[in-house]
Amino acid sequence: MAEPTGRRERNKRERRRRLEDVALELFEREGFDKTTIEQIAGEAELAPRTFFSYFATKDDLVLADYSERLERILTELEQRPADERAWDALRASFAAVAADYESEHDRIRRRFMIMASNPSVFARSLHLQAGWEQALTERLAARLSALADDPTPRLLAATALAVMRASLQHWLTVPRAPALPALVQSGFDRLAGDLNTR
């Protein structure tokens, strides 16, 4: 009875969510290192072993939705006109994604705090970002019809991500910082324009 199909799906989603919620709270209250998988599974009313069919590592609990963000960026970039200058296309794409972040400030901030205070989580997040850099590099290379040994695409990707990262950190840690899209845009502008005036 009840739903026709998809109870399985629903249960899965619900359990995954429960693990995430419970874990985040424990991390904040007791600290990441002091919290064991056993505790997390316990509070989520699952067997410890089951945890690992939902998350590959403890770190992933904090970084669960990282991969969606990359998709967002790439999609956004895909939609920019082909004749737009690469840097401008990146600027627009990142600003658009930044606008998404804006509405999730608290959620993102919570995770950022845990991440920032835990080396292994932090390291893993950077590792995921490196994956983004690679993906971005490839798209840019295609877009620019760059030769395989042209460093330009990687340089652009790395720099754009650096702007995003610096902006994000600023946005999350400085008390009354401007809105994220504004920070991102001005970061891009600064690099393109008055880099040599400071």
Whole-number Å distance between alpha carbons of 14 and 84: 43
Whole-number Å distance between alpha carbons of 104 and 107: 5
Among 122, 135, 142, 179, the residue binding a second copy under the rule CB under 8 A is 122
Query: Does position 99 bind a second copy by CB under 8 A?
Result: no
26 and 8 Cβ atoms separated by less than 8 Å: no
Phi first, then psi: what are they for 136, rounded to 5°? -60, -45
Nearer CB in complex with DNA: 54/94 = 54
Query: Does position 155 bind a second copy by CB under 8 A?
Result: yes
The contact mask relative to DNA for 19-58 (x = CB under 7 A, - = no) is: ----------------xxxx-------xx-xx-xxx-xxx
Query: Does position 1 bind DNA by CB under 7 A?
Result: no
**CB count in 10 Å sphere of residue 21:** 13
Residues forming the site for DNA (CB under 7 A)? 4-9, 11-12, 15, 35-38, 46-47, 49-50, 52-54, 56-59
